Amino acid sequence: MTADDVIALPPAFSGQRLDWRDLPRHVRTRIAELAGAQVTAEISATSGFSPGFAAVLELQDGRGVFVKAVSAEQNPVSPHLARNEIRVAAALPPEVPAPPLLWSSDDGEWVLLGFEVVHGRSPELPWRPDDLVLVADAVGALADVEPLPGHGLPRTDDQLAEDFTGWRRLLDVDEATRETIVARTGDVGRWADAHHEQLVRWEQEALRVCAGDSLVHGDLRADNVMIDEDHRRVWLIDWPHASVGAPWLDLAFMLPSVALQGGGDPAAVFRSHAVSEGVSDDDLRAGLAGLSGYFVASSLQPPPPGIPNLRRFQAAQGVATLRWLRDLS
């Protein structure tokens, strides 16, 4: 895969971020109060899906803070995710490579989060082998981590119970929708259409294989990773979907996006990592069936407010997941 192939992928996010001047005056005032100094400059985040405000703010006293500010006006789900991220931050033990949450505020309309600024870059695309090794090792290390006592994080199998029903829901679609799916997904779509009942059977086992006791990030892609080359450290960011489940899920569920972005064969990457030990092909098939059904079914829905590229990105991830699943079957 070339750099041109990667650039041609649907971007995760495009043009929906708020600037500092777009925030209501009372929100800007509250952020300055929480930060403890006036804001002098901003460096906006350019990746990720969620609409709203996300930027590193430079403060008058020389410090910096990474701030997220969201309300239902940008997207009705965004405040819910921000509140989740506040709860998750309190559940993460110190060994987790996540930027610490310094403060938060929720007035019922605007949810504000202030994180310690961490330094690094996004993985280069197409993925460099050394970047992928660093990130895969950091993701694999989560397999040995459990949330802090009293955390209240959901079980992964409970959290995905509705999402991992895509192939069952697609059994009842009309012929025109089936043709649309095949047209969007190409050769793997034709394979999925011919093996739909098998996909349903695998999908029905997906929640069982997702159960476990490890910390699961649940939404890892290149845009949720930062690499600090000076310290050979990886930061995993954006944690609103965290749960407690099987230790191999994060690596396996990240790899379809890695394959899309030039990272090589997901099967080879997965099986080369220690976290895959003891994961049978049957269990892997079940997990990938649940994930692919979620992506394909979700890609058929209208775009959510403020996130115009999400469905195209999900369709691309669905194709990559199906390709791995087809090769595994």
What pLDDT, in 10s, does the model give residues 84-113? Answer: 999 999 999 999 999 999 999 999 999 999
Q: What percent of the chain has pLDDT over 70?
A: 94
Instruction: Characterise 238 by phi-psi region: left (phi > 0), alpha (psi -120 to 50), beta (else).
Output: left
What pLDDT, in 10s, does the model give residues 272-284? Answer: 999 999 999 999 9
Residue 218, amino acid: G
How many helices (H) and strands (E) are present in the chain, helices listed first? Answer: 13, 10
Does residue 100 have a cis bond before it (omega within 30 degrees)? Answer: no
Q: Average pLDDT over the chain, rounded to whole?
A: 92
Tokens in use for 249? 């899920």
Beta strands in the chain (DSSP E): 17-18, 39-44, 52-59, 64-71, 101-106, 110-115, 214-216, 225-228, 233-236, 243-245
pLDDT of residue 45: 77
Q: Is the pLDDT assigned to residue 4 strictly greater than 50?
A: no
Q: Is the pLDDT assigned to residue 9 strictly greater than 80?
A: no
Q: Please, what sign has the CA dihedral across residues 276, 279, 281, 283?
A: negative
* Confidence category of residue 12, pLDDT binned at 50, 70, 90: very low
pLDDT of residue 184: 87
What pLDDT, in 10s, does the model give residues 294-324? Answer: 999 999 999 988 888 889 999 999 999 999 9
**Cβ density class 109-120: b for 16+ within 10 Å, e for less:** ebbbbbbebbeb
- Return the bridge partners of 65, or none: 57
pLDDT of residue 49: 60
Count other Cβ atoms within 10 Å, centred on residue 241: 19
Site of tokens 């069952």: 168
Report the distance separating Cα 118 and Cα 228, nearest Å. 9
Residue 290, amino acid: G
Q: Which range is least confidently modeled, 130-134, 137-141, 228-232, 282-286?
A: 228-232
CATH number belonging to domain 3-115? 3.30.200.20
* Confidence category of residue 259, pLDDT binned at 50, 70, 90: very high
Q: Is the pLDDT assigned to residue 10 strictly greater than 70?
A: no
Q: Is the pLDDT assigned to residue 8 strictly greater than 60?
A: no
Q: Where are the domains of the chain?
A: 3-115, 129-328
CB 65 within 8 A of CB 116: yes
**CATH architecture assignment, domain 129-328:** Alpha-Beta Complex (3.90)
